[in-house]
Chain A
Amino acid sequence: MDKVLATLHSLAGKRLVIGVPYVWLLLFFVVPFLIVFKISFSWMQPIQPGYAPLFAWVEETQRFVATLNLSNYQVLLQDSLYLSTFLYSVKVAAISTVLCLLVGYPMAYAIARCGPSTRNLFLMLIILPFWTSFLLRVYAWVGLLKTNGVINNTLLALGIIDQPLTLLYTDFAVYIGIVYSYLPFMILPLFSNLEKHDLTLLEAASDLGASPMKAFFKVTLPLSMPGIVAGCLLVFIPAVGEFVIPSLLGRTDQLMIGTVLSAQFFSARNWPVASAVAIVLLLLLLLPILLFQRYQRRELEAAKR
């Protein structure tokens, strides 16, 4: 009997531990998601709450009537703005991700290969910017990049240029902003992967005739693939939906999907269309995540054996 109670007890404990995050996700992800999903099928209304209810009691027929509005999704297909901003967002996110990888990989590699005390110092330096507000850091770039900003003034003073460069409100500024903000998300998973590498593998490669460069491309790079994939997803996914950086630093003639989404919600107050954008974006971003999870599961199974 005691045994049974103990088992029940431990089972309850296990359930509780697993349950808390699930309840959290249910309350703050699933429920809001369902609300957004619902709104995406409704009509815009000028009065509060801004959208028509999906289900209404109709007096004349004495029954509930559900009015599903698919036009919000049709708008996304018909209005070329959405497709072009989405493609532009994917392009910006993809280029930023590649840039992050190119900058972040050597940094992660260097950190993983240095001594424990310097390693901790460098990791600290990577994480340190998080202690300042994200918004503040992006604003700081405005001051650096604007026509009479720090960078232009310095270059002018040094005589390298005689006309200020247009840096702000360009794609270039957005790339800088995204790479700068998301670099830690690239470096940390790469570091945790590279740090675990068995360095005798490189000695073995060298012993078998591979130069350090070849050994890197044949051994280190393939083995760091899980870190690369994780880092790229952590940068790419939020970058696609990014709206603070493009609205502060980016072009005015070409919007990103995140900017459109926030404009629909807060300026146009067209919640149904905004919700439809959010849903489509989510579904499209789900794809790479699912692919990553499948990849991870395969790696995990391989590691188990």
Chain B
Amino acid sequence: MSQKTIDRSHEYVRIEGVTKRFGDFVAVDNVSLSIFKGEIFCLLGGSGCGKTTLLRMLAGFESPTSGRLLIDGQDMAGIPPYDRPVNMMFQSYALFPHMTVEKNVAFGLEQEGLSKAEIAKRVGEMLDIVRLGDFARRKPHQLSGGQRQRVALARALVKRPKLLLLDEPLGALDKKLREHTQFELINLQEQLGVTFVVVTHDQEEAMTLATRIGVMNKGQIVQVGTPTDIYEFPNSRFVADFIGSVNMFDGQLVEDEPGHVRIRCNELEATVFVSHGISAPPEAKVSVAIRPEKIEMSRSAPVGTENCAKGVVKEIAYMGDLSVYLVRLESGRMVRVTIPNVERHADERIVWEETVHLSWRPSSPVVLTI
């Protein structure tokens, strides 16, 4: 999904300097954002970062303290939820317990005043799309979690909204079902051409679903970009640390050239050579972030004197597809390294208390100044 190009010609949602205060607490702090037609935009952040409040403002359940929200060019100020061209899938699904699946899905269409025949036709089609045709007459309490999730989705989508808001859509599902449903969601989105705004705290979910991710922290959007951008080119220590795991070393710039930089880190004996320039004042305090999978580990010393470290393996976590090693450097610092388990036989694998050499390419480290 991350490779999908974004058509930036249709700005569908425009958030302009939106702030939301609850008493003294600033839930959303001066957020500006554009979401384009047909994309799956993920708002990603920890709990209390303001992502759900932002979503609820789009749905109309909260109104901004200041700033403007435009959907399809129309200012949403003063428009109640029931008059917005937006539908939401709730985290708890919020299915009406006293109605059958069919009735739940028909509810939104009944409010539009469509004919009985038209409603029945569209409900039937929608239930077929989410493969719940056989469950039309069941009540929500007679369904499994995954089926309820699909009813909630069908209920929101049957109204043919231009914008669908999803609050932790996969949060209540178990891991296997979640993976399966992720791809279903993407297919459905492509099939129906709806713009999705997804709120999630699960970075894996955001990575697979999103065309673009907006990372939120303390009410602010700290970075917006494709999943690849966010992962490979984080713009701050917060984003690098929040998305995936990372080894972060504090250091100082010792050489700053347009094509490369050299950084000295207290916890690393060798200097770090980075093969791209950065924009930071000389002698600035910087952080070097290296992803665990970008570190190579071997028993023999690497060539060269830079971008390397020596340590002892202290922990190994076997995950099946890959293994996570925790290596203690001579400075006492623990470094996380992941190695794919290419070989089935474990004879060649590095074991506990072995002395190993770590190395990485000059293009791998990310230098962060904020």
* Interface flag for A208 (CB, 8 Å): yes
Across the two chains, which residue of chain A brings its CB closest to B111?
A: A209
Please measure, in the bound complex, the distance between the C-alpha atom of A10 and the C-alpha atom of B108, giving whole angstroms.
54
Distance in Å: Cβ of B136 to nearest Cβ of chain A: 18
Chain A residues near B94 (CB-CB < 8 A): 198, 200-201, 203-204
| Size range of the chain B interface in the assembly | 20 to 34
- Closest B residue to A222 by CB, please name it: B98
- Complex formed: what's the CA distance from A303 to B142 in Å? 10
Restricting to B89-128, which residues have a CB under 8 Å from any CB of A?
90, 92, 94-98, 107-108, 111-112
Tell me if B88 and A207 are in contact (CB < 8 A).
Answer: yes
In the assembled complex, the CB of A297 is this many whole angstroms from the nearest CB of chain B, namely 16
A208 pairs with B90, CB closer than 8 A: no
What is the CA–CA distance of A211 and B83 in the complex, to the nearest angstrom?
A: 9
CB distance from A241 to the nearest CB of B (A): 33
A302 within 8 A of B: yes
B142: chain A residues at CB < 8 Å are 305
User: Which residues on the B side are within 8 Å of A219 (C-beta)?
Assistant: 96
Distance (whole angstroms) from the CB of B86 to the closest CB of chain A: 8
Q: How far is the CA of A244 from the CA of B98 in the complex (A)?
A: 41
Could you tell me which residues of chain A, from 214 to 234, have a CB within 8 Å of some CB in chain B? 214, 218-219, 222-223
Least distance between A85 CB and chain B CB atoms (Å):
39
Q: Which of B94, B108, B112 is the most central at the interface, judged by chain A CB atoms within 10 Å of its CB?
A: B94
CB contacts (< 8 Å) of B82 on chain A: these are: 206-211
The answer to whether B111 and A200 have CB atoms under 8 Å apart is no
Taking a contact as CB atoms under 8 Å apart, the answer to whether A206 and B81 are in contact is: yes
A205: Cβ under 8 A from any B Cβ: yes
Interface contact B96-A210, CB-CB below 8 Å: no
Among B96, B156, B159, residue most surrounded by chain A Cβ atoms (within 10 Å): B96
CA distance A305 to B81 in the complex (A): 32
Q: Is the Cβ of B96 less than 8 Å from the Cβ of A201? A: yes
Report chain B residues within 8 Å CB of A200. Answer: 90, 92, 94
Closest chain A CB from B98 CB (angstroms): 5
Q: Are A208 and B141 within 8 A (Cβ)?
A: no
Contact B80 A208 (CB under 8 A): no
Task: Say yes or no: B141 contacts A209, CB within 8 Å.
Answer: no
Q: In the assembled complex, which residues on chain B have CB atoms less than 8 Å from the CB atom of A211? A: 82
What is the total number of residues of chain A having a CB less than 8 Å from a CB of chain B? 20
Q: For chains A and B in complex, what number of residue pairs have CB atoms within 8 angstroms?
A: 63
B276 CB contacts on chain A under 8 angstroms? none
Q: Which residues of B contact A222 (CB under 8 A)?
A: 98
Considering the complex, give the chain A residue whose CB is closest to the CB of B87: A207
Contact B80 A203, beta carbon cutoff 8 Å: no
Picked from A203, A208, A305, the residue with its CB within 8 Å of the CB of B107 is: A208
Q: Is B314 in the interface zone, CB < 8 Å from A?
A: no
Most chain A CB neighbours (cut-off 10 Å) among B82, B83, B155: B82
Check if B107 sits within 8 Å of A218, measured CB to CB.
Answer: yes
How far apart sit A200 and B52, CA to CA, in the bound complex (Å)?
Answer: 14
**Pick from B60, B86, B107: contact of A210, CB under 8 Å:** B107
Q: How far is the CB of A164 from chain B (nearest CB, A)?
A: 50
B61 engages A209 (CB within 8 Å): no
Chain A residue numbers with a CB within 8 Å of B112 are 209
- Tell me whether A210 and B87 are in contact in the complex, defined as CB-CB below 8 angstroms, given that A201-B96, A305-B142 are known contacts: no
Residues of A within 8 A of B83 (CB): 209
Chain B residue nearest in CB terms to A204 = B94
What's the nearest-Cβ distance from chain B to residue A228, in Å? 13
A211 to B96 CA separation, bound complex (whole angstroms): 16
Question: What mask results when residues 44 to 86 of chain B are scored 1 for a CB within 8 Å of chain A, else 0?
Answer: 0000000000000001110000000000000000001111001
**Residues of A near any B CB (own CB < 8 A):** 198, 200-201, 203-211, 214, 218-219, 222-223, 302-303, 305
Other A-B pairs, 12, CB within 8 Å; known A203-B59, A208-B111: A200-B90, A200-B94, A203-B81, A205-B107, A206-B61, A206-B82, A207-B87, A209-B112, A209-B159, A218-B107, A222-B98, A223-B98
What would 18 A/B residue contacts be, using CB atoms closer than 8 Å?
A200-B92, A201-B96, A203-B61, A204-B88, A206-B60, A206-B81, A206-B82, A207-B59, A207-B156, A208-B87, A209-B83, A209-B108, A209-B112, A210-B82, A214-B111, A219-B96, A222-B98, A223-B98
